[in-house]
Every structure is written in C-alpha cells, then in structure tokens.
Structure 1
C-alpha cells in the first residue's frame, strides 16, 4: 500500500479523480487529480511524516475531517514502515482520548478544527501523542504545522512481513468506545482487496466506469476499496465527503456515476436527487451498500432512478474484524427487497471464503435451521487483535470461529436472515424487521429506530424532516405488530450517530429513557 499509487502511475494509469472539496492535505491544489499527481502527494506526505519523526514500526494516529486523504496519509505512513491508525473525527473527545492512550502514537496527524472541538470538551488530544502535526494550520501551540515539515524528500519505501500489522481501524462504536482492530497485509489486502480486483461479470469494475464513493474514509472499508479501485483502473473516481444533496448534485451531474458505493445514511440523504427529471443516478448499473441495514423504500428509489435495463443493488454484510461475510442482490423485479426473502435476508456466505454457523447463545451448540441464534463466522480474513483489549478479542473467539454478536436465522437454503444485534434483541420482535415495515408504511419517515429497553415494550423512534407525525397514520403503520410504546418523533440532527452514520442506539435509549440498559446481554459487542 505504501507504493500503490507509484505503481499505478508507472503503469500509465489513466484514472482521473474528482472531489467535492479539496484535500485537507492540499487545500490549494483543487478538486481534480490524476494518479501521478496523487502518487506525488503520497510521497510528499511521507516526507512530511518522516520529518515529524516517524520511523519504521511507529504508530501514526490520523484524526481529521472526513475525506479520502485519510487513505493517502495511511499509505504515506505505510511507505515509511509505520502503522497508521485511522480514527473518525465524529468520535467524542473522551473516546478519542481513550483510543489514543491505547495506541500511544509517535505522531498524531490532525486538524485545527478537531483539536479545537476536543478542547471544548476538555480533551487535550495533542497531550496523548509524542508529537502532533496539524495538516491545515501553522502556529498551533505545541504542534507542528505544514511549514515545519514541507519540502523534505520521502525515504525509500520500507517493506514489512505480510502478517505484521499494516493498518488499524476502529469499529462503529454504536454501544460505547469503539474497539481498535489491527489488520495485516495478508488479511485486509491479500484476502479482501485482492478478491475485489477480479473483473467479475455484471459486478466487476470496468475501465469505462465512473466510481462514486460516499463513505466514512476513516474506516477500514475505504482502505480496502482504495487498493482495489486503483488497481482496476476505472475511467473516473468521484469522492463525496458530505451527504448534502445540493452540494453533491453539481459534481454528480458533471460526472454521472455508473457504480455507487455509499454509506446507508448517504443513500438516505441523497435520495431527493433520485426524484429529479434528469437525476444524477441515471447511468448507474451497480449500487453497493455495507455497514448497516438498508430499508426497502430507499433501495427501490435508486433502482427506479437508473435508466439501465437491469441495475443491481449488492448488499454486503460483515464487520471491521472480518470483512464481508455474505452478499445478496436486489433488482427491480424483487421490488427493492420486499419480494421474496426481504432485505433482512443477507444472502449466503461468500463461496470458498466464509462459513457461518448459528448457535445457542448459552451453550454455543448449533441450533436447527429456521431457529434464531448467535452467528459465528469463519474466515481467513479475520483481523489480528483488538489493540489494548486482547482479552476482549479472545472472548469473541471460539476455536476457528468468530462471534459476530448478531442474532439471525440460518434458512434451509443456506441464506442468513438477520434479526438484530444481540445487545438490542427482543424476544417480542425483530427490531430491524419492524423498522422495515414501519418505514414502508410511513413514506414521510426518513428513518425508524426501534429500541428495546430492559423493561417495558419496545420504544419506536420516527425520524421525519419536520419532527412531526400524524397519529392516525402511525396507528395504521403499526397494525399487526406486537405492542409498542408511544412513538418519539425526532428530526435527523436529533439522533446521535457514529462516523458511518449508524444510530448510537444505547446513547439514544439513554437520552430518551434515562438508562442504556437493554434486553440483551451485550456480552459480545
């Protein structure tokens, strides 16, 4: 990964990259880039990191505003033989401080805005690292700025063992402080990115494609995507850093995508663009979603927006610790996931690469097909450890099997139907399935979240544009469902979220009820 951009540039790579805003690393260099220019930026960044004192084996923490230069900085650190740790700026000051203590980084790479927000929360991030480099400002007391490290040549690339730590990313953090997940070259590149570099029929990236990525670039998915996307040489790559449809529309009209990969929340927020006469998604042949559940109305909107004869929606399920475990496809014929098994059916394990087993949460003995249980997974792409929480890592291993912490049903056809995270699961209903049904029946709902407390009926939260909900429509939407508490109606900004847009359910539950206690045990979060 340290020489990825160099090798692509040496091949005469013709991909052009188009950004919705300039890189924080290069604020004056515009929004249009070639691969040779990106390679030069990675080399320049490696020189800056080396000047800041980074050496082989050191850890480099990266915390900044959301942009693809998270991965450029990571590649620069890898080039030096260091181990980058990509941390989302969406994390609270306390969570960032905890993770930085676990990392003990030689260098913290951050922005003035991140430091200022943390200081307002009484968190001094710079005090946790040996040195701090601010990428977008000079003169911040106690830190290095761009002027202090600019203009130094990068040392020669350093190679490492394939099983040594390559990159550190964190889990979503929906239930508390995220875990730090360490991957090696063998796991995240050899087992995950390499398999994406195949030009599969229908779903493989073509040299004529325009790839749109609207993601959280602090997470391991985009590090893996960076490797595969560059190697496949699409015609264009379009990068969105925000989920504002007004800001995204001009860029997408200028470079209409043919393949889209986005966060579930990005799909939700950009959905108004699908309703325009000359919509920005008219050329898309493949939509890809990961990270979190997608609800049927959203899938249906995008498939309908494409003017291709048979666009596909590929839904992946996996974890930071394992990479993707299953996938399945939705088409217009399946009615956006409502026909057949529905969107909660995650498909079958990836052939040859993964195996799944559903077991009793108490005894860990396999349960019969069709009965709910705890999902265990087996894959060679499993990460190395939780940094600083090795006991927690060991507790989630059962021989060669990994405890996902999810409750699901293994169907007779080999597919897996996800019910809930174990910590959120209720014996009364599947929260995720209830959310699907309510969203289908309430077109004005941007999102529905069903929370399960330790006592009382499940609490539904409906997110609307104006924070209002018609009582009669609500009663019609929840007919035939088990008894629910009266709904709480919020706007989008009222809901606490992770860097990938997932609802922080425990935080929201405590915010609404005063306690974060749930119906699950939370032993495997």
Structure 2
C-alpha cells in the first residue's frame, strides 16, 4: 500500500503491515479506562473494531451523524475511526464550548448517537440545556448515573445509557463510501461567536491532507527511530489527519499528551522524550518553564511543529534552545479548519536571534506549497488582486477545501468564490512570495498589526505570558497582559517607547482569558468583558 486508507480501517492495515509503533498516553483513554496507557497498533485496531460494534448496537449506521463531546483526549480520534468504519459521519465537538453553543450545533447535526460524559450532561442541565434531546441515543463514557445528582424535574427527556454496557460483538460490517462523500465534521475555533460545522470528505481530509504528509519528505517525515508526540485539541480535524499520517510512517513511539498542565506533561515527556513534537501555541507557552529546566524533556527534539495560532518569538527561542541537537527546527504552519495547512515556514535559532534595531517576528508565514495551494491577496471591497507589498484580504485555492458548512449555506456562500476561499485574514504578499500576516479582518487596526505589536511586547516583557492588543475606534488600542504580578509602570513605558500609542495595559491572570479548544483567545469575549460597548475597526463579515 502506497497511500493511507480511510480512518475506519487504517489501524487494521497498519497491524497487517506489522507496525512496531507503541503509543504512550499521558492518562488512560475515557474509551477504555481500565486498559492503561500503553497501546500497540494491533490493540488499537481491536479497540476501534469493538467501538464500531457498540456504535452500531446503539443505532448508528451509514450516513448517520455520531456526535462526540468529551474532555480532551485521543479517543476523539478513535471514536471517529469507529464511526467511519460503519459508514457513519463523526462530528467532534469540544467540551470547551458553552452548553448553549453545543445545543445549537447538536440541533444542526441531529445525531443518531451522542457520545459524551455525565459531568458534561449535568453541566448543560444546570444551564437549562438538555443536550440529550437532540439524539436518538445518548451514551456516556463513564459508569456514573446521570440521575444520581440531577433533580427529577431537570432530567433529560431522552434515555442515557453507558457506552460500556453495549455489546462489542458481533463485529459490525465495514461500510465503504465514495471519496467525495462526507467523512467527518469538525468545528472552527469560534473565536468570534458560534463555531461553524465544517464538513470534510475522504478526498479533502485524507487524500489531500493526510496523504500529503504520508509521503516521504526530507527532514519533516517521521523516521523509524523517532518518538512523535502530539499535544493538541483532539476534537480538531488536525488530530485525525495527524494520526493517519504520523502512524503511517511507523515511528518507534507515539506519545499523546491529553492535558497541557506542565506537571502532568513532565511525567509523560520525561518517560518518553520526543524527537518530533506538535503542540498548541498556548500549550507551548504553558510549557516554557519545562523547556527552561536543566534536564528538559525537550532535549532530544529535532523538530517542533506549531499550527492553529501565532507563536511569539520568545516562546520559539526557548524551545529551540532547550534542544541539545545541533540544528533543531521549528516548523510553523498556517491554515484553517476549512482548508488544512496553506503555508509553511522553518525557523532556526539564527532566524529569531535578537539584533539591534530589529524585532524578530513569526508573522512571516512562509510560502504555499507549489502545485498544492494557491494564494491571492485582494482588495476587501472589490476583490481584485492588489500589488505585492500592499495589504489585502487573503484568498486561497486548494483541493483540500472542505465541502461546506453544515446548516449554514449562506455563511459558506459568503466565503466561497468559485474555487477560491476567503480566509478572513489580512496580509501582505512580499516580492519573494512570502505571506506576512497582519491580523484577522475582524481584529484589524488601520495602519497597524496587532500580532506584530504582541510579538514586540512578548520580546520586551519576558514576564508576560500572553499579550492581546484590541483595537478600539476613537481610542488608543487596549492591551491586555496575562501576568502573575502587576507590570512595573517604568518597564511598561520603556517597552512601548517607540511603538504606536497604546492605552495603559489591563493585567489579568491566565484563567481570566477566555479561550477556544485550540487555545486561541476569544477576543470578542475579552472585549465584552473589559471594553463593553466599544466599537471595532473590522467588519467581521468573513468570520
């Protein structure tokens, strides 16, 4: 076999190939809580088969939606593989979403089966939301009874069953689907409101995205002796594509870190030091103190991978310095749930070294992959291409573009222009072809870049864990700083001495910043919390 198969049978195929990969988990799967943290590929193939049989016994079949909402872990992916195996379409929803948002998304999905956890049903019930009402069958991955702590008058109208009480035999037949038919549903980050439900097919998610990574490329392809680690949101489409492509190369070990807590991560990563690590930008930030330790668990990393959001230069610098390799690399990818990765850039220690009169930045997103992705920067009003070096709205053309938004055709039509897709990002295309990101259009400030200002603030104020610049009409931009202690006013004045005028910063702690499942700051919620009633510069038309 020369290309990865659809997720429903990929573990079987790898087992037949004799894959030696051993998967290590930071904690047991909620799908198999008694089975420990070490899994071989044949064991995983068996788990997917058993899970598929249980989903079929619950009533899921070809074309049905199987919705999953649970705490973050890799069993999101395994449940998706099991649903695909029987012809169903998995819809993976993050437990970071508010109950009322989950209610809206489940209303659009109308799943045959909802797989969740008791504490999430209870949380929703306390918010006067009954998630179970949307599905024909609701399954919990724990054995606790929902009714044990829910008053009689607030019990869900639909029956709730334990997933583990369903039979794993007989095995359900494998259902084949066309490559262009819906394969999986994932949601966007939802930084500006209710997330969109993005529908991908085997062609877009597996053939184009996972298939691209499953090819053998210099430097980036996992090797037989590698330990590849992932610490991302496993509800995201990236998790499914990563699983198929990374395991296809049969590395020695795969490490799954389900929680970003530094102490929990230290135990797993110290026991299984990664050589290739992919993590959320916010996770890298939380792990900086681990990277700075003398016996860092990142000492053997040859390549770091970051997607989902911007990573500021000081963070990249800390992790590159933590590696004892001579020339470690940081691969920065930029893309969207609807399109997959669009550009790549490799960062080295030298690329982000501090120099006089220069602010190293990660806003340079690199170039699109020739022959795979097209980019066009256009005027936001006329949609006509603008000259190189001029700010515009970024459109992209890729065969990995999703099929559309479930239940929101008008919203899709607003962003799809023939073969081109509107990313909603503002950027500049350089003469050399690189893309320099400014901001999301909804977050823009005329003549400035919030992301660039945030880069500089992070570089000059190492004690800041997160800097967020918010544009405000008729006022100086407002900065929100995540710190453990107040910023010395003199240090602040020195840090902004040559920057455009900024309002005095607001300082908050980490937990006070609303975030998405992928760690992005929900800027609209942050604005509502601290700048309620103020107008923005952006239109938000393409969010």
Correspondence for 1:437: 456
CA distance in 2: counterparts of 1:399 and 1:151, whole angstroms:
45
Partner of 1:14: 20
Alignment of 1:40-439 (within 5 A): 40-137=46-143, 139-141=145-147, 142-335=159-352, 342-439=361-458
Larger mean CA deviation between 495-504 and 194-203 belongs to: 194-203
Q: Is the 8 A contact 1:43 1:76 kept in 2?
A: yes
Count of residue pairs brought into register by the alignment:
524
After superposition, the Cα gap between the structure-2 partners of 1:257 and 1:522, relative to the gap in structure 1 and judged at 3 Å, is same
The structural deviation recorded for 1:337 is 8.9
Paired residues of 1:263 and 1:500 also in contact (CA < 8 A): yes
Give, in angstroms, the shift of residue 90 of structure 1: 0.2
Does the 8 Å contact 1:138/1:146 carry over to 2?
no
| Residue segments in structure 1 that go unaligned for 5+ positions in a row | none
Q: Secondary structure at the match of 2:350?
A: coil
Q: In 2, Cα distance between the equivalents of 1:174 and 1:455? A: 24
Q: TM-score, normalised by structure 1?
A: 0.98
SS of the residue aligned with 1:445? coil
Deviations 1:57-107 (A, max 9, x none): 100000001000000000000001000000000000011000000111111
CA drift of 1:120 comes to 2.0
Please, which moves more after superposition, 369-378 or 141-150? 141-150
Q: In structure 2, how many angstroms separate the alpha carbons of the residues matched to 1:320 and 1:237? A: 24
1:24-44 residue CA offsets vs partner (Å, 9 max, x unmatched): 001111011111111111111
Consecutive unaligned residues of structure 2, counting only runs of 5 or more, are 1-6, 148-158
Does the CA contact (< 8 Å) of 2:313 and 2:360 recur in 1? Answer: no
**Taking structure 2 as the reference length, what is the TM-score of the superposition?**
0.95
Contact 2:51 2:168 in 1 (8 A): no
CA distance in 1, matches of 2:303, 2:144: 43
1:500 maps to 518
Partners of 1:435 and 1:449 within 8 A in 2: yes
Q: CA deviation at 1:148?
A: 3.1
Please give the root-mean-square deviation of Cα atoms over the aligned residues, in Å. Answer: 1.3
SS in 2 for 1:334: helix
Report the Cα distance in structure 1 between the residues aligned to 2:354 and 2:141, rounded to whole angstroms. 44
Secondary structure of the residue aligned to 1:144 is: strand
